[in-house]
Amino acid sequence: MDRANNQRDTEALILQAAEREFLEKGYTGAKTTSIAEAAGVTHAMLHYYFRTKDKLFEKILADKLDKLGEIMFGVIGNTGLPLRERLVQGIEGHFDFIAANPLLPRFVFNELHSLPDRLEAVKYKIAPLAKAVIDNLQAAIDENSRRGKCRHVDARMIVMDIVSLNIFPFLANPLISTTFGTLFESREAFLKMRKKENVRTILDKLRLDYE
Amino acid sequence: MDRANNQRDTEALILQAAEREFLEKGYTGAKTTSIAEAAGVTHAMLHYYFRTKDKLFEKILADKLDKLGEIMFGVIGNTGLPLRERLVQGIEGHFDFIAANPLLPRFVFNELHSLPDRLEAVKYKIAPLAKAVIDNLQAAIDENSRRGKCRHVDARMIVMDIVSLNIFPFLANPLISTTFGTLFESREAFLKMRKKENVRTILDKLRLDYE
DNA sequence: ATTATCTATAGATCTATAGATAATGC
DNA sequence: ATTATCTATAGATCTATAGATAATGC
């Protein structure tokens, strides 16, 4: 193997292991020793490439916040569609994103809670996107409600509703599996049902029909 | 001071400090040294009264799960009222409980995630109560919908909706303060508005009018 | 006598680095 | 020559306990 290949390998291996460990256990719970072990490299390598646990963590956090930004940005894209379709796509897209990154909400809430300084990054990366999504949605709601097509509601509340409803099944995963274990056939069936239900709840609130 | 008084004092002081620290930082993040310091007792006292960090933690966790159980049980009590009032009271009661224990949801999710063994306690303490709440609500919905008073919906979904919507503002507290900081006058005003909104969302879904 | 408290410290774990050695590219 | 990797270990932090001392109740 040539150098470039080797270098990238260990660095990437550490990043992968770090992502998993940080998302699973949070900053304090994660240990650089176990990250190195999981990555299959010696512990010194971790510090060789990233100097400190903190720097490694910041890299992971920034990555995750970027991902969070992307999904929000994606929602703004579909401006051409009618309100109803935009909502359905936006809600289902958000749900699927969380389903693909089920540990992300807890991770973000935890780390922002324990170290509010990290909010600075969020303030500049996430807040503007959230504002764009909300303004965009509010304009569409205003227009539709003026034409009697739907109720007039606060877009901030709708966005909060969507996020609340979509992240819960993943945050409460162990609780739901236990409490509702006998009440649903399988986790997959439950999640599919829940996604549809969340779409319905929002459309219902706006008095937009669903098929 | 007599012995009994002294004994209770330190023990209670440790418990108070431990509750705060565990809820704030979780099991791994909390340190017995800082708990002792916060309680204003020597570190050895903590181990004298509780032997291990684990035993102290279990005491706090059991306490919190009991509280969680109480609020759920409270909801079942108001069977005499019509469905609409039961829902309003149930939702607002739950919201107020979370507002009074804002760190509880994150704590429960985190600890159950990191150590699923603790689910055993939940399985026996919480699951039966949740089932009772749901069965109770489903019966009321069935009856009301049969008489054309409301839509027929799955009570499990309604309960999940309520919990999702009510806990979010507290889980995402730092995020909301930052992202919506400029969009609401104060945190109190926001929470009050959000509580009403959540009631409205649920009543809406059932097509039960709100005043 | 028993219970509560303190000081001191053992032993484990964890982050970080120093310094030696091996691999790679010029 | 430079970059990557390894071994060994310093230094900090944390849980837990041992053993001495003070307070309390009989």
Nearest nt (C1') from B6 Cα:
C4
Distance B104 CA to D23 C1' (A): 39
Residue A207 falls in which region: left (phi positive, over 0), alpha (psi -120 to 50) or beta? left
Tokens of A67: 């991902």
Question: Tokens 């945050």 map to which residue?
Answer: A171
C-alpha pair distances (Å), B117 with each of A170, A200, B112: 18, 35, 8
User: CB-CB: which of B114, B122, B165 is closest to A164?
Assistant: B165
Nucleic acid strand C: bases within 7 A of protein CB: 3-8, 13-19, 23-25
Query: How buried is residue A69: exposed, middle or buried, by Cβ count under 10 Å (0-12/13-18/19+)?
Result: middle
Residue B102 and residue A123: Cα distance in Å, rounded? 22
Phi then psi dihedrals of residue B180, to 5 deg? -105, 10
CA B132 centroid distance within chain: 17
A209 neighbors A87 (Cβ within 8 angstroms): no
B71 neighbors B174 (Cβ within 8 angstroms): no
Q: Within 7 Å: CB of B2 and strand D?
A: yes
Tokens of B86: 């039961």
What residues contact residue A29 under an 8 Å CB cut-off, 6+ apart? B26, B28, B29, B114
Query: How buried is residue B76: exposed, middle or buried, by Cβ count under 10 Å (0-12/13-18/19+)?
Result: middle
Bigger pLDDT: A40 vs B115? A40
Residue B180 and residue B164: Cα distance in Å, rounded? 19
Q: Give me the tens of pLDDT residue by residue for chain A, a chain 211 residues long.
A: 333 345 568 999 999 999 999 999 999 999 999 999 999 999 999 999 999 999 999 999 988 888 888 888 777 767 788 999 999 999 999 999 999 999 999 999 999 898 877 777 777 888 888 889 999 999 999 999 999 999 999 999 999 999 999 999 999 988 887 766 666 778 889 999 999 999 999 999 999 875 5
